[in-house]
Every structure is written in structure tokens, then in C-alpha cells.
Amino acid sequence: MTENKPHFKRILLKLSGEALMGDQGFGIDPAMLDNVASEISSVHKLGVQVAIVIGGGNIFRGLQSAAYGVGRVSADHMGMLATIINALALGEVLQRIGSETRIMTAIDMIKIAEPYIRERATSHLSKNRIVLFGAGTGNPYFTTDTAAALRAIEIEADVLLKATRVDGVYNADPELDPSAKRFSELTYREVLKRNLKVMDLTSVSLAMGQKLPIIVFNQKKKGNIMKVISGQKIGTLITG
């Protein structure tokens, strides 16, 4: 497979909110936002249909709600709003550098973004627009990983790309254990059986049920999104 020749026609890219944070401890780093948008745009300009689910952990994480004295349901709604802030920011920069975008949300806010409708989302993708899905699934207790798997299945994506800050799936946390070993390939059942923490188990189960391939890779390394799209063997492939 030659470099920069797309290996996939339609992808769902799952980004964490922390991907936009850079080295700062909170919010959006403008330089990091530009870098992420540039890499996505370069893939899009090859003709790849790109959908994106982005988290909100750089702004607010629902699982930390107890520290704020906020109930889990309200906290999850706050987290959903954080994902929309990130989607709006990333979408605006993508537009500025020449990639047409549409923001769709699982919670209706029609003066800000389109409500999520599957047929409309696939129509946008077919018209070469990048679609950013905000607000997760629109339901509390479900992570943006689950939203990514769900949306990928709904839009019939060829693959779910899970961008992380490490080089794939390991048998231990490589940031804490230098001896941790990376898996080049795994089955869905191995991920579930080992309780590997790369994605929540609901999202992996959804992908397994529909045979949706997942590639976990390091988004912090420049050029990795293009490498994955061109079929290079990086990260960890999770299939049946």
C-alpha cells in the first residue's frame, strides 16, 4: 500500500477532548487545535469521508461530578455540552483551512447545530463534508466511546479510529509500567476478557456485534492519522 493512498472510504475518528488541550491542563490550546485540524483536513482532501466524535474531558468530565457536588445525570449533561464546544472549535478551524463541515448534535440546539439524523449525516458525508457529532449519544451514563461505536455503525463506516496518547493497546498502562507490551492485533473477545481499558466495554461489544474494525493509535505523533488511512501497520487492530 503506497503512502497517502486511502485504505478506507469512510471513517469515524474518535478524539478525546484532551487531544485539543496540548500541554496545558485545561481547555483548548490553539496550536494543538490547528495541528489536529490540519491532519484531519489532509486526510479529507484525499477523498476520505470523515466523521468525528470528540470528547469533552478537557473542559468537564462527568465521572468527576462527585468532586463538584453535582449529580451524575446533570454532570453527564454538562460533559455533553463540553463536547459541543470542542466540536464547534474544531469545525470552525477545519472550515478555515478549506474543509467543509457540519456539526450535528444528539441534543437539539437548532440555533447552534443540526439535530442528528442518520440519513442527513450520510448525505453530508457523501457530499464530501466532514461531520462532527457532538453531545455523545444524548443520554447520561454512556461515554463518547460508545457514541463513536454507535455512530460508526449507523453511518456504515469502514473503521473506527480511536486516537489516544499512547501507541495502541497494551497489557498494562505504558505510562506507568515501562515493561508494558503492546498488542499489534486483538479480537473483541480478548479485549473484553482481559478487561483492557482502551475503550469502555459497551463500545467494544457494539463493535463486535456489527464486526466493526477498531484501530487504536497514537494521535500525538504527527502524521499518524495519514499513516492509518494509508494502511500502514501502526497501533493496534481490534477485529473478530
**pLDDT by residue (tens digit) across 27-66?**
999 999 999 999 999 999 999 999 999 999 999 876 666 6
Does the pLDDT of residue 22 top 70, yes or no? yes
**CA dihedral (211, 162, 172, 233) positive or negative:** positive
Angle between helices 144-154 and 118-126 (to 10 degrees): 70
| Residue 5 pLDDT | 86
Nearest to 16 by CA among 224, 231, 220, 229: 220
Bigger pLDDT: 3 or 56? 56
| Residue 1 pLDDT | 40
Going by pLDDT thresholds of 50, 70 and 90, the confidence category of residue 15 is very high
| Residue 24 pLDDT | 83
CATH class for domain 10-239? Answer: alpha beta
Nearest to 166 by CA among 204, 219, 239, 214: 219
Nearest to 13 by CA among 164, 119, 142, 148: 148
Nearest to 125 by CA among 17, 40, 44: 44
Q: Which three cell numbers stand for residue 163?
A: 486516537
Domain parsing of the chain, residue ranges: 10-239
Give DSSP secondary structure letters for the chain: --TTS-S-SEEEEEE-GGGGTTTSSSS--HHHHHHHHHHHHHHHTTT-EEEEEE--TTT--GGGGGGGT--HHHHHHHHHHHHHHHHHHHHHHHHHTT--EEEEESS--TTTSEEP-HHHHHHHHHTT-EEEEESTTSSTT--HHHHHHHHHHHTT-SEEEEEESSSSEESS-TTT-TT--EESEEEHHHHHHHT-TTS-HHHHHHHHHHT--EEEEETTSTTHHHHHHTT---SEEEE-
User: Measured between alpha carbons, how far is 129 from 169 in angstroms, rounded to an integer?
Assistant: 31
Percentage above 90 pLDDT, the chain: 85
| Residue 60 pLDDT | 87
- Of 102-106, 122-126, 149-153, 220-224, where does mean pLDDT reach its minimum? 220-224
Average pLDDT, the chain: 93
The total of other beta-carbon atoms located within 10 Å of residue 186's CB is 21
pLDDT tens per residue across span 103-139: 999 999 999 999 999 999 999 999 999 999 999 999 9
Q: For the residues 158-173, what does the mean pLDDT come to?
A: 94
Going by pLDDT thresholds of 50, 70 and 90, the confidence category of residue 68 is confident
Does the pLDDT of residue 6 top 60, yes or no? yes
Does the pLDDT of residue 2 top 60, yes or no? no
Does the pLDDT of residue 188 top 70, yes or no? yes
Q: For the residues 219-238, what does the mean pLDDT come to?
A: 94
Bigger pLDDT: 72 or 213? 213
| Residue 225 pLDDT | 95
Residue the block writes with cell 450520510: 122
User: Measured between alpha carbons, how far is 169 from 174 in angstroms, rounded to an integer?
Assistant: 9
> Length of the chain in residues, anyone?
240
User: Measured between alpha carbons, how far is 40 from 13 in angstroms, rounded to an integer?
Assistant: 9
Strand partners, 162: 14, 216
Q: For the residues 12-36, what does the mean pLDDT come to?
A: 92
